[in-house]
Every structure is written in structure tokens, then in C-alpha cells.
Chains A and B, each alone.
Chain A
Amino acid sequence: MIKPRLCLCSGATVPQDHPLLAGREVLALDAVGDDPSVHIRLQDVAHVFLQQLSPRLTDLIEIAAYVYAADCAVRRGQEWTADHSVEAWGRDFHFVIPVRDSVFWNRPDVQEELRTALSFLSDDQYGFTFCHLTKDRPLQQYIELGKLKDWPFCGIERVVMFSGGLDSLAGALDSAASGKNIVLVSHRPVASQSRRQRRLFRLLKEKAPGRMVHVPVWINKAVAYGREHTQRTRSFLYAALGTVVAESIGAKGVRFFENGIVSLNLPIAGEVVRARASRTTHPIALEKFTRLYSLITERNFVVDNPYLFKTKQDVVRIIAERSGQELIPYTCSCAHAFFQPGTQWHCGSCSQCIDRRVAILHNGMGEFDPATDYQSDVFTGPRRSGADKNIAVNYVRHAAELKQRTEEQIATGYNSELSRAVRFTPKRAEAAAQLIKMVKRHAAAVCGVLEDQLKLNATALVTKGLEPTSMLAVVCGQERFEASSKRFCNRMLGILSRGLPVAFQKETPANEVRVQEVADALLKAADEELVREFPFVRWSSSLAKPDWSVEALNLFVELKYPRQKSDVLRVTEGIAADITKYGDTSTYTLFVVYDPHHVILDEAQFSAPVVARSNMQMGFVR
């Protein structure tokens, strides 16, 4: 169990004997001061913003920042409890936060919306004690004023959350196409804006017929607090910042642009339960944000996502339709932020990189997403054992499964996830059917791109030239022939191990031919596709033939029978000759050694010359 935390924020204290301290570890957090635990900075903000920022909205920024900092600070999934059968996943936080509008924040309905929104996002339990802030804190610390004295427009439809990925680029292009003015709020983890990001916004601005304002926000936590990477409450902070900007210009709400596959985030494996799949823009999360921010702003404030029924492939098509292809190289989709300041922006291993690459290639737009921007090729690059490999395996398996399943089967197997996604939709069955159609489109696109990649890499795959840990090699079975041969061999060995001792219970076979005759009968009874003494193999000027072969598997089988100790040398020489004769062919060779009298004392030593070869195997039957 993860120890519950008491988060004392903005210098708050509680007496030593306070009940809140019972069983809780204290985590002190501050967003201001000389050594803040979380850094927030809204940049290029109009001067009028400061006047419009109400105490309640300032509270919101701080509350969201503290929740985010605590989320980052407390690790989960590091241990197992209940005799290693329960993963320590959910956490328990209680925050004590001094606020400017304590009457509002202590309202039961506000606390309820706050708690349920956060619990849904992160699977944690939340409690809040809001006390009155006695000494106000400098607001300017969060704000960097830009050149604008006033916002150039008021009362716009939505503030657009602009993450700098493909989905938000499509959303910005879509929004700008109407000719209306738009405000983008973007988030990044570092203070400096990279050349690439600046160029993306500049190019975007050139494409927009109306005016466009960009408010970059950088949020990060002090290194000492940044241990947990799941950060499920980040979208709460992000939406809070969007709400603050929206409120300052009288916008009707905040708009995320996120494809439905990611919003829904169906579990790709059995282990992905609850918020192990992020719910950043899940319809329930957005509904809860809407309720909470409507209470805060005291008006109908909407947080929505118009791309809920679109796949990533649809999103990339929108970018093309809006003639935004040349902006694609300046977007970043990678989950690993540490790549972003470097020359390559994509790791190529995470699910976001896979999603991006699939969507781009599905639309035939690879030229706008250079492979050199990936540290490792999504399909053919090496993958480390563990999460990198598992994400590729699960991603493809999930897509293949969705493609095969009927719509009804998807509605049955993912019933709870689909039900939640449409909970606040008036016509739920219709919406669910639409979501399933989207999921099927996504699955078909993933499988289609994989087929294309398979064709492109067919030669390498057949000749085992692909990196063995790569996505293609693993999921498409580069080792298939070898594995099939090996599996076939193991089945053969199993049949012979069970059958030969019984067959020769009352008889000691006179010679190798006799053993082979009985073995042949046993194998044919088991319906094995073996052909006896075929084919002829030419070696130098002589011809040789294996005891059995399986053409489909390119497999040769040799059976040896050392009846007594003196036969061991003969058998060894026979095997040496077979290694020479078959070693240069492209076949897989199995040596079966029937040794009922244990005349071979050291199996490892005896089989060493055979097993040293990757295309040969030896098994002993006794």
C-alpha cells in the first residue's frame, strides 16, 4: 500500500496532533518563493490579463499546480501487496491549501466536483481543506506579460489547447479556417521555446486568415518531486490554465482536439485496468471539467473535444485537406519529452510514436514525417525487452483483435469502457455504435500499414535480416520457420519418447533400421507429415538422404541408435558426416538419439557440436 500523503501547500501548517496527520506522510509544496516545488509561467500574456484574473482563478492555478506536483511526487506501481497479488496503484492525498476565496472552495458541490474529476483522471483519492490565505502571494510570479496591452478580441468561441502534436495542429487549422480569431494555449515542460516550436506557430499563423494569439505556458516540477511519470492530473492543470485564459477574454470555453482513439484509450492488454490507460480527454473527464469550471466561472463554460469520433488517420487527413502538410515536421507526438530539445523529436518506441507513424503512412504522407526524426524506426528499430517490446506487441495485437471482432463483440468485450465514454451523451447506443465504427477504422488502418511494412521488408524478414527485437520481427514472426521447425521437432521427440520405450519394452532392437521402422510407424500414426528417406542431397560426388524430411518446414531428421558402448564412436562419426553434408544446406536438422541403455554418459558433451549450430538440434530418447 502506498502511504497516504498530507500535502501542506503554500506554507500551510497543521498542529502536531492534528487528526489529518494520522497515518500520513507530509509533503510540503509551494509554487512561489526561492525554491518552488512546481514552476508555472504563462508567457506573452496581455497586460489586461492581470486585471482580469480574479482571486478565485488564481486559486485555481495554484490548486491545479499543487495537485500536479503531488501526482508527480508520489510513485505508484513500485510494489505489490497482499502476498504479491495487489499492485499498489491508487494513492490517497489530502491537501491543505490557503486560498483567497475560501468560501467558494469549501462549498460541498465544488469540493465534490473537484474530487470526482481528479479521481476519475488519476484513480487516486482526494481530500481538500481550504483555509483562508492571510498574506497574499505575488501573482506576477506566474505571469510574463507580452507586448499586447489588451487581447485583440473578446467573446470568442473557445480557447484552443495546442499541445503541438498532430491532433492540435489539425484542430488549430480547422479552427483558423473559419476566419475567426483564435487563441491557442500550449504547454511545454521547459522554459525555452525551441526553434521548431516557434516555427510551427509562425507557419500556423501565416495560414490563419484571422488573427491568432499564442499563450505558451510552461509547467514543470522541481527535480526532487518528479519521480512518477504517469502524471494523470496533467490535463487538469492544462485545462485549468486554458480556463484562466478563456475567462480573461470571455471565451465560451476550452477546446481540446484529440482523436477519439486516444480519448477513449481502450485497454490494449489485460493488465491495463482503470487509469493505467490515461483519461486525459476522456468524455467523462471533459464533462467533469465542464461542471467544475462552470461553477468557478459562474456561467456555462464548456470543455469539449470535436474530434471524439475521429481516428488519428482522420486527423492527418484533415491536416492535408487544410494544406498543412508542411507543418507536420514541426509537430511532436512523442511521450518522452526528453527527446524534444534534441535533434530527433521522436523515440519511435512509445505508443504515441507508433500511432503517429501509422497515421502518417496510412495517408501516404511519409515525406512530411522524416524517418530521421525517429531515434529508432517504429517498425524495424530495436526494442528493449519489457515495456518497449510489450507496447508494440500489445498495440498490434489489440488492433488485429479489433479488426477481427464484430461490432457486437467489441460492444460486449469493452462494454464498461464504451458505456463510460457515452454516459453523458443523449443517444448512447448511437454514440457507442459510432465509436465502435471509429475503432474498426483505426484497426483496419493499423493492419493495413503493417501489411505495407511487411511487403517493404519481406526480403529482410525471410532472410532473417531484420533486427530480431523490432516490431515487425516480433509480431510478424521472423523466427517463424525456425520456431515452427523447432516446435515440430519437439512434438516428434515427445511422440518418440512416449512410443519407443513402450514399443521396445520386450525387445531390444537389433539395429538402427529396426528402430527407424518402429519410429516411422509411431510418427505416421500421429499423422506427421514426414517422408521417409527423401530427398537426395548431393555432397561432393556422393549422394546422401536423411532418414525423414518435412518439405514444408525444410526439415531433415536423422535417427541414431547406439546399441552398446562400442557403437558410440560409429554414431559420432555418422553425426559428423551428417553435419558436413547437411550443414551447408538451408535446412533445419534434428538428430534423434535412441539410447535405451544410457551408453552416452554426458549428453551435453555429446550434443555440443550439433547444438552449436543454429540450424541443428539434438534430442535423446530413453
Chain B
Amino acid sequence: MGHTRLGRIPKTRKWSEIVALLSETGKLPAEDVARISRRALEATETGLDLAADDPGVRYAFFLLTQVALASREDDWSSRLSTLGISLPADATVFDLTAEVQGAIDDHLLSHGPRTDIGEIAQQAVGEALAATAGGQTPSMFLGGAENLQDALRGFSTKAGFAHLGQKFFGQLLSRYLNFFLSRATADAVGRGRIAQLGDLNSFNDALVRHCEQSAHIVRDFCGEWYSKTEFQEGIDLQNASRFVAVALEKLQAEMRQQGAEQ
């Protein structure tokens, strides 16, 4: 009964050019990722502009800030519970990320609608938290609430949140671009630059690396905004949403510039 629906790319000149770019001979796509991703961004930038107003994107980022802030508190469980995150005494990193995902799902039930970009942001938050906090513990599936809080506390500082923010925006962008590109790259396997399946995997990996590196442009910006805003007025959904809009603009500008330099 399982079914996967695969779709088509938009029938536009920009996408025809990207398909041609993938089909032509030349550098491996992984070596040309900056140019390909810039072209994909040009073809889809309106969707990314809309992301700043998406309830899923906004809440996902807001929750990321709140989880980081909660880890500073002595009674962090209480702070988390106000966000709908309830952790058992022996909580692991996975328990935390599962609760965060549940909290976003619950929020969107009443504050939706759910959208593709919102879902992508939710995935990006999961990956950002799992990759950063998971790296501070021996296993994502072992631990205790105190260890977990210790693992997260490092990301509640200005520098720590800068790192978390870079991971989030890098993941958001790479998943967003691959939402479109994967329709074209799979079809291009066996011809042109993507001669074999391995080339496709290399390209996917390169895309993630490229986007995460590009998100370095918002790294310090994230840290400074987080620290300053929490100190001055406290981070809330409104100011977090405004920040997301600005950060996405910066990120898009960076991607355009990097692709143009190729």
C-alpha cells in the first residue's frame, strides 16, 4: 500500500536551462554545485521569499531559539514544558528532537496551514539540533536529562547559537533546493554529467556542504541577533520571524554571489 509520488519540475525556461546544464558534459555536478544551486535559486527564489511569512518556518526557528535559551535555566524542564516539550528523566537527544517535532506539529494544527517549506524548516530544525547536540553526547539514544542539558548549554551562548543558526539555515536551503533539483538530477542519471548513481550522491552531498558553507554568512548575524534581542527585549515569535526574513535575504544574496564567481 506504500506509494511515493514523484513529480515534475516546473515547465519554465530557467528550469529547461538547468536540465540542459545537468545534461551537458563537463565538470562533475558536485564540482559545479555553486553554479547549479545559484541557477536553481534563481528559478525558485519567490518561494524562498514567501518562506519568511510561513508559519512553519517561523515557528521552527523560534522554537530553536527557545530550546537553546531553556538550556541555560536551572529548571529547564519547566521552561521547556511551556513550549509543549516534555522530557522524561532519562531523556536522550532523540527524545528532545522528537518532542520538538511534536511541538511544531501541534502548533501548526491550530496555527497552520502546513506547507512544503514549513515541513522543510521542521526537518532543518530536527537535523540542526540532532547534529549539534548529538555531537556532544556519546549517543543520540543514550543519556539523561542533565547530560542533555549540558550538551545543549554550549549552544545557548552567542557563539553557540551562531553555530546552531548556521546549521539550520544551511539545511533549510539545501533541502529547499533539492526539493526541486532532485526531480531533475534523478532523471539525468546515466547521461551528461551524472553518468552514474555515485555522481548523484556526490552532488547531493556537495549541495548540503555548499549550502551549509554559504550559511556562514548568517552565522555571526544569528549569534549577535540572538544575544542582543534576548538581552534587550526577549525573543518572541514576532521578532524571530523578522529575523528569519532578513537572514534568508542575506543567504540568498550570498548564494547569488558565490554562483556568479564560478
Residues on A facing B (Cβ under 8 Å): 77, 80, 82-87, 89-90, 116, 119, 123, 125, 163, 165, 230, 234-235, 258, 261-263, 265, 267-274, 276-278, 280-281, 335, 351-352, 355, 385-387, 389-391, 393-394, 396-397, 400-401, 408, 411-413, 415-416, 418-420, 422-423, 428-430, 432-433, 468, 473-477, 479-480, 483-484, 486-487, 490, 494
B191 CB to nearest chain A CB (Å)? 8
A390 CA to B190 CA in the complex, in Å?
11
Q: Are A408 and B196 in contact (CB under 8 A)?
A: no
By the criterion CB–CB under 8 Å, are B186 and A393 in contact?
yes
The reply to whether B126 and A85 form a contact with Cβ atoms under 8 Å apart is no
Say how far A365's CB is from chain B's closest CB, in angstroms: 21
Of all A-B residue pairs in the complex, the 8 with the closest CB atoms, nearest first, are A270-B178, A85-B47, A415-B126, A262-B2, A483-B195, A270-B182, A419-B101, A84-B10
- Could you tell me the distance between the alpha carbons of A212 and B28 in the complex, rounded to whole angstroms? 59
User: Among the listed B7, B127, B186, B197, which residue makes an inter-chain contact with A87, where contact means beta carbons less than 8 Å apart?
Assistant: B7
* Contact, CB under 8 Å: A473 / B7: no
Within 8 A of A (CB), among B110-133: 112-117, 119-120, 122-123, 126-127, 129-131
Knowing A90-B113, A270-B181, say if A278 contacts B44 (CB, 8 Å): no
Which of A86, A281, A390, A400 contacts B6, CB < 8 Å? A390
Q: Interface-forming stretch among B62-70, B89-97, B154-162, B213-221?
A: B89-97
**B residues in contact with A418, CB < 8 Å:** 94, 98
Complex formed: what's the CA distance from A116 to B187 in Å?
Answer: 35
B43 within 8 Å of A by Cβ? yes
Contact among A270, A276, A430 for B175, CB-based, below 8 A? A270
Check B2–A393 contact: CB distance below 8 A.
no
The residues of B that contact A473 with a CB separation of less than 8 Å are: 190
Contact between A412 and B130 (Cβ–Cβ < 8 Å)? yes
Q: CA separation between A335 and B139, bound complex, in Å?
A: 39
B50 within 8 A of A: yes
Select B187's contact among A267, A355, A386, A477, beta carbons within 8 Å: A386
Q: Is the CB of A477 within 8 A of B197?
A: yes
Most central of B25, B122, B175 by chain A CB within 10 Å: B25
Q: What CA separation (Å) do A262 and B4 show in the bound complex?
A: 10
Q: Which residues of A contact B116 (CB under 8 A)?
A: 86-87, 89, 273-274
Residues of A within 8 A of B25 (CB): 486-487, 490
Q: How far is the CA of A262 from the CA of B26 in the complex (A)?
A: 38
Indicate whether B232 reaches chain A with its CB closer than 8 angstroms.
no
Contact A352:B187 (CB < 8 A) given known A408-B134, A429-B92 = no
Q: Report chain A residues within 8 Å CB of B129.
A: 415
Closest residue of chain B to A279 (Cβ to Cβ) is B2
Are B179 and A270 in contact (CB-based, < 8 A)?
yes
**Chain B's nearest CB lies how many Å from the CB of A378?**
16
Which chain B residues lie closer than 8 Å to A475 at the CB level? 189, 196-197
Show 20 A/B contacts (Cβ-Cβ < 8 Å), sorted by A.
A87-B7, A263-B2, A267-B4, A269-B6, A271-B182, A272-B6, A273-B119, A274-B116, A277-B2, A278-B3, A408-B134, A411-B134, A418-B98, A419-B100, A420-B105, A429-B98, A475-B197, A477-B195, A483-B196, A487-B195
Contact B189 A82 (CB under 8 A): no
Q: Which residue of B lies closest to A432 (CB)?
A: B94
B1 touches A83 (CB 8 A): no
- Contact residues in B for A432 (Cβ distance below 8 Å): 94, 98, 141
- Please tell me the number of chain B residues within 8 Å of chain A, measured between CB atoms: 70
Question: Which residue of chain B has the shortest Cβ distance to A489 in the bound complex?
Answer: B25
The interface residues of chain A, by DSSP majority, are classed as helix
A408 in contact with B7 given A258-B1, A397-B200, A429-B95 (CB within 8 Å) = no
What separation, in Å, do the CA atoms of A520 and B8 have in the docked complex? 46
A230 touches B5 (CB 8 A): yes
Is there an interface contact between B123 and A416, defined as CB atoms closer than 8 Å? yes
Identify whether the interface residues of B are mostly helix, strand, loop, or mixed. Answer: helix
Which partner residue on chain A sits nearest B90 by CB separation?
A429
User: Given contacts A84-B12, A85-B44, are A90 and B2 in contact (CB under 8 A)?
Assistant: no
- A330 to B115 alpha-carbon distance, docked (Å): 41
Within the complex, what minimum Cβ distance (angstroms) separates A462 from chain B?
15
Task: Collect the chain A residues with CB atoms within 8 Å of residue B122's CB.
Answer: 416
Judging by beta carbons under 8 Å apart, are B141 and A430 in contact?
yes
| Complex: A486 Cα to B190 Cα, angstroms | 13
Contact (Cβ within 8 A) A480 B195: yes
Neighbouring A residues of B175 by C-beta, 8 Å: 270
Q: Give residues 160-219 of B contacting A (CB, 8 Å).
A: 175, 178-183, 186-187, 189-191, 195-197, 200-201, 204
Instruction: Give A256's nearest chain B residue, CB to CB.
Output: B1
Contact yes or no, A269 B186, CB < 8 A: yes
Cα distance A415–B105 when bound, in Å?
14
CB contact under 8 A between A274 and B114, given known A165-B1, A393-B189, A412-B127? yes
Q: Specify which chain A residues have a CB less than 8 angstroms from the CB of B190 in the assembled complex.
A: 468, 473-474, 477, 479
Known A-B contacts A415-B101, A432-B94; A262 and B114 likewise in contact (beta carbons under 8 Å): no
In the bound complex, CA of A423 to CA of B102 (Å): 7
Q: Which residues of B contact A387 (CB under 8 A)?
A: 6
A268 to B123, CA, bound (A): 15
In the assembled complex, the Cα of A486 lies from the Cα of B117 at a distance in Å of: 39
A400 touches B201 (CB 8 A): yes
Q: Which residues of B contact A273 (CB under 8 A)?
A: 116, 119-120, 179
- Whether B26 lies near A490 (C-beta < 8 A) is yes
Does B52 sit within 8 A of A, measured CB to CB? no
B187, A82: Cβ atoms closer than 8 Å: no
- Say yes or no: B3 contacts A400, CB within 8 Å: no
* Contact bitstring B1-38, A, C-beta under 8 A = 1, else 0: 11111111010101100000000011010000000000
